[in-house]
Amino acid sequence: MLRSEGFSERVTYLIDRQGVIRYRSVSDLDHERDITDYMIAIEAM
The pLDDT tens digits of the residues spanning 1-45 come to 566 777 767 888 999 999 999 999 888 777 788 889 889 988 988
| pLDDT the model gives residue 1 | 59
For 19-36, letters b (16+ CB in 10 Å) and e give eeeebeeeeeeeeeeeee
| pLDDT the model gives residue 22 | 92
Ordered by start, the domain boundaries in the chain are 10-44
